[in-house]
Structure 1
């Protein structure tokens, strides 16, 4: 059982849906980013997705691309991203942290070295968007052996023939991408998402969390209502880009979390 498994078990017992928040590590700078991450659990975040800045973020829209650029320009590194997790763990041993990003920085570090460091830092899971199931031996299988969940993305174009392959080594939860395209590009619609979530849940016992295109508490409530929870990323990152204070960002996140928890 990982912290992710424990969190979903607790939420199920409480009759609540999960709220997952994404932030880019090191955006707008290391210290501010650390303070934002530390504020997320108190704002109602059940799982933290910590973005790993990368020079070629092909699945991300402009908002998160720019966040990654700000972080890299500010000197953010993989080591500093792991350090953010370590700092959170000094005060919080319950909130799961999922590192989200691309394979290149992990491959450059060396898979075994990275996994050992991630586990030591208190990381609970990985979402690596550019590693398909055909490459499971690269990272997915080693990660699960190291005690980390490997969370896979399913999309509107993942048909019934492809879905079992996507699900076969997934653990923690399934991340359903509600729209085709890049992050932050359009608004998710519960009427479209609901049947797709049901289709996925017919083939797995894992929770299904929906992300992409959720920007308001009302949208969080609607999407969480047809899934096991929702993820908000670009809308939070946009608040950071606008120069809002940590307190203002936490208040914005609290509104989104309350929406998801009302579902």
Structure 2
């Protein structure tokens, strides 16, 4: 079965542009608004949606995303709400929906059960920032069985041996981290991202999308000079926080304009 995520990137490339991957936390400012926001993000030009269920210990997230996830948890978000949201969003827009989740909630829920419920809800796969392929056999098996995409992270510090494993075991795309440390906006995107994508290409990667630090259309365009997709999170969460769904829609449209520069 072909990857819906890879197909979305290929479709963007065939249209002469790079892919725009947009991240939003689920449950912020409340569950229904987060669903409407994800739909607006897709309608405004995101090729792939990346949804983050809130987690009590978000070790990789910057302040803006941390505050949003804390608000979602305080608002009563439950793990099962992830599948409710994915089901409704998938029913409203024809864009692949990925869940970006820390590994512990998946383990607690049950890896096979999580995969089955995500598939039933119309989800396309998981981005797992805190588990490496060598520790993820149970998830690799479940994703093969369900044809869900499994997206692992590559960092500038990854060894060649690790990159080889990441490229071999990832489907959809490899999530390429441009800077070490937490997410958030960077005035100057790290040259490390360009180098890392080059290393991934040498290891045979089909699709590499760069995230962490992209906050405007110019940076989107810059990343798409060498990567297959640009991942934006913090800038979208800020737009939703400050301007609601309409503010988010405007921000997403502006970012999407960078894919054709």
TM band (smaller chain) = over 0.9
* 1:118 match: secondary structure: helix
Q: Does 1:229 align with 2:233?
A: no
Q: Distance in 2 between matches of 1:54 and 1:193?
A: 27
Q: CA shift at 1:5, angstroms?
A: 2.4
TM-score of the superposed pair, with normalisation by structure 2:
0.94
In structure 1, the partner of 2:62 is 61
Is the 8 Å Cα contact of residues 20 and 48 (structure 1) preserved in structure 2? yes
Q: CA shift at 1:183, angstroms?
A: 0.5
In structure 1, the partner of 2:123 is 123
Indicate the larger mover: 158-167 or 113-122.
158-167
Is the 8 Å Cα contact of residues 3 and 171 (structure 2) preserved in structure 1? no
Q: What stretches of structure 1 of length at least 5 have no aligned partner? A: none
Q: Does 1:165 align with 2:165?
A: yes
* 1:175 match: secondary structure: strand
Q: What stretches of structure 2 of length at least 5 have no aligned partner? A: none
What pairs with 1:205-224 in structure 2 (closer than 5 Å)?
Answer: 205-224=205-224
Q: CA shift at 1:193, angstroms?
A: 2.5
Q: Distance in 1 between matches of 2:163 and 2:3?
A: 24
Q: Does 1:251 align with 2:213?
A: no
TM-score of the superposed pair, with normalisation by structure 1:
0.94
| Residues 110-157 of structure 1, C-alpha deviations (whole Å, 9 max, x = no match) | 111111100000110101111112212131331232110100100111
| Residues 134-186 of structure 1, C-alpha deviations (whole Å, 9 max, x = no match) | 21213133123211010010011112232112222111101100001111163
Is the 8 Å Cα contact of residues 185 and 234 (structure 2) preserved in structure 1? no
Q: Distance in 2 between matches of 1:58 and 1:87?
A: 28
* 1:98 match: secondary structure: strand
Residues paired across the two proteins, number: 260
Q: Distance in 1 between matches of 2:144 and 2:232?
A: 25
Q: CA shift at 1:192, angstroms?
A: 3.9
Q: CA shift at 1:203, angstroms?
A: 0.9
Q: Distance in 1 between matches of 2:61 and 2:191?
A: 24
Q: Distance in 2 between matches of 1:108 and 1:220?
A: 36
What pairs with 1:1-263 in structure 2 (closer than 5 Å)?
Answer: 1-92=2-93, 94-184=94-184, 186-189=186-189, 191-242=191-242, 244-262=243-261
Q: Distance in 2 between matches of 1:261 and 1:21?
A: 16
Q: CA shift at 1:105, angstroms?
A: 1.2
